[in-house]
């Protein structure tokens, strides 16, 4: 299910924070626009938890437009007529990059034998891809949500690789609440009898029920009460009155069930476990001796952070915490909290000021 993505097989074993290394790691990626002769116009866009490399073209499984097509394209804020845009599937995922569904050297799927990875491991893979593409220094690295974590990790650990760092609706560390929601999702997957300790790849029955519940719980955290109320309120689903049963009486239930089951068609349950784990382990300050500003000491990059006022998953205070550290490190940083009703998902939706900030920061 990799569509027509390009695959980069890393020539060196990929060392991992957990102590092991990934042999013959593969990175599936898409590119948009042309790389300039002096190779200075590349922008790396990092995707979120369940995102993938199909940034601005049709998704091969769902047939839907790319996940950030409104932002990326000729003449759009991330302008592919001027920039060479790279988007790669992170390791641990399931759209062509090495992950738990990939075949291990012994010929069977890794499943839970796949090593636990971190955000920094994902970025190490992305840096390997940039090396293979001959891109020494990015014009910018851009990411929302988990993509923002990767952008921060790249800036902190490979400071010479990006001139601009744009982080949207993200954080430098996963909070107890974030970890709690992820644990809820993981337990839903692992409670599904079809999960079979992760060894379900050869079975007819897949752990779709658990994965769907994980997605439903997570999906609620991406929205806002205001957004849910505006979209659904207490409206009933295709029925005049309550059924006095446990069908999806309410529109919001029907919507969540649809989101959950749709998700299982494009995502691997084990990948969900591994990627949420990587996010939970993310604490950029901890990686750098406990002080976040030390993570950015000596950086020459310019930073821009954006948060949304209705995002309770990665609230404005998290972005401010990063801005504070960047100020302490003396880095040039901009920050704006945008008003939008749609919660965490606002970064993917229409927002005029976001467009202006993204365009301005990348071009200014």
Partner 1 sequence: MAEPRSALRPDLAVIADHVARGSRVLDIGCGDGALMAALRAHGCDVRGIEIDPDSVGRCVAQGLSVVQGDADNHLVDYPDGGFDYAVLSQTLQTTARPDRMLEQLLRVGKRAFVSFPNFAQWRTRAALMFGGRMPVTRALPVSWYATANIHHVTVADFRELAQEKGARIEGEWFFSGERRIAARGANIRAEFAVFELGR
Q: Which is nearer to partner 1, 35 or 336 (CB)?
A: 336
- Residues touching partner 1: how many (CB under 8 A)? 24
> What is the DSSP annotation of 159-182?
GGGBSEEEEES--SB--HHHHHHH
Establish whether 344 is a catalytic residue. Answer: yes
DSSP state of 331: -
Least Å distance, CB 320 to partner 1, is 8
Annotate 350-361 with b (16+ C-beta within 10 A) or e (fewer).
Answer: ebeebeebbeeb
Q: Is 145 a catalytic residue?
A: yes
In angstroms, give the least distance from the CB of 344 to partner 1. Answer: 18
The yes-or-no answer on residue 52 being catalytic is no
**CB of residue 107 to partner 1, shortest distance in Å:** 52
Name the active-site residue from 5, 98, 145, 271: 145
CA R_g for the chain: 20
How distant, in Å, are the alpha carbons of 202, 252, 261, 269, 272 from that of 196? 11, 31, 20, 11, 15
Q: Are 313 and 176 in contact (CB under 8 A)?
A: no
Per CB under 8 A, contacts with partner 1 among 325-344 are: 327-328, 330, 332-339
Q: Distance between CA atoms of 301 and 131, rounded to whole angstroms?
A: 19
Nearer to partner 1, 41 or 93 (CB): 41
**Taking CB under 8 A as the criterion, which residues in 136-155 touch partner 1?**
none
C-alpha to C-alpha distance for 273 and 178, rounded to whole angstroms: 14
320 binds partner 1 (CB under 8 A): yes
Range in contact with partner 1 (rule: CB under 8 A) among 31-39, 60-68, 169-177, 350-358: 350-358
Query: Per CB under 8 A, which of residues 17..36 are in contact with partner 1?
Result: none
Using CB under 8 A as the binding rule, whether residue 364 contacts partner 1 is answered as yes
* Residues 293-312 as x/- pattern, contact with partner 1 by CB under 8 A: ---------x-x--------
Strands (E), 279-332: 302-308
Whether residue 178 contacts residue 344, with contact meaning beta carbons closer than 8 Å, is answered with no
Please report whether residue 324 would count as binding partner 1 according to CB under 8 A. Answer: yes
> For partner 1, which stretch binds (CB under 8 A), given 100-108, 172-180, 239-247, 320-328?
320-328
Residue 85, SS3 per DSSP: strand
Nearer to partner 1, 61 or 336 (CB): 336
Asked if 205 contacts 264 with a C-beta cutoff of 8 angstroms, the reply is no
H-helix or E-strand containing 31?
A: strand 26-32
- The active-site residue, picked from 79, 249, 311, 345, is 311
Q: What is the contact surface with partner 1 in residues (CB under 8 A)?
A: 302, 304, 320, 323-324, 327-328, 330, 332-339, 353, 356-357, 359-361, 363-364
| Residue positions annotated with a catalytic role | 145, 311, 344
């Amino acid at each position: 299910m990799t569509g027509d993505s390009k695959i980069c097989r890393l020539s060196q074993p990929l060392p991992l924070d957990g102590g092991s290394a990934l042999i013959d790691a593969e990175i599936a990626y898409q590119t948009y626009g042309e790389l300039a002769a002096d190779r200075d116009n590349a922008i790396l866009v990092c995707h979120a938890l369940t995102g993938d490399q199909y940034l601005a073209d049709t998704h091969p499984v769902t047939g839907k437009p790319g996940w950030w097509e409104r932002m990326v394209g000729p003449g759009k804020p991330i302008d592919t007529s001027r920039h060479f845009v790279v988007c790669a599937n992170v390791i641990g995922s399931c759209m062509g990059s090495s992950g738990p569904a990939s075949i291990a050297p012994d010929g069977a799927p890794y499943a839970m034998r796949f090593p636990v990875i971190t955000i920094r491991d994902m970025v190490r893979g992305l840096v390997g891809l940039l090396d293979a593409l001959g891109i020494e220094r990015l014009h910018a690295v851009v990411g929302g949500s988990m993509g923002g974590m990767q952008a921060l990790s790249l800036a902190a650990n490979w400071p010479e690789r990006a001139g601009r760092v744009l982080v949207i609706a993200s954080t430098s560390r996963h909070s107890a609440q974030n970890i709690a929601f992820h644990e809820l999702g993981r337990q839903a997957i692992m409670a599904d009898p079809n999960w079979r300790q992760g060894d379900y790849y050869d079975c007819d029955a897949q752990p779709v029920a658990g994965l769907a519940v994980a997605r439903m719980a997570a999906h609620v955290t991406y929205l806002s009460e205001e957004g849910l109320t505006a979209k659904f309120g207490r409206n009933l689903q295709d029925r005049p009155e309550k059924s006095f049963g446990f069908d999806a009486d309410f529109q919001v239930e029907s919507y969540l069930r649809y989101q959950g089951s749709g998700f299982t068609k494009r995502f691997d349950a084990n990948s969900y476990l591994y990627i949420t784990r990587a996010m939970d382990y993310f604490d950029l300050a901890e990686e750098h001796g406990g002080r976040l500003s030390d993570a950015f000491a000596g950086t020459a990059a310019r930073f821009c952070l954006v948060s949304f006022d209705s995002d309770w998953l990665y609230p404005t205070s998290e972005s401010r915490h990063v801005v504070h550290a960047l100020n302490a490190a003396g880095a040039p940083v901009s920050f704006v909290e945008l008003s939008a009703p749609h919660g965490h998902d606002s970064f993917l939706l229409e927002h005029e000021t976001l467009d202006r900030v993204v365009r301005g920061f990348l071009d200014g």
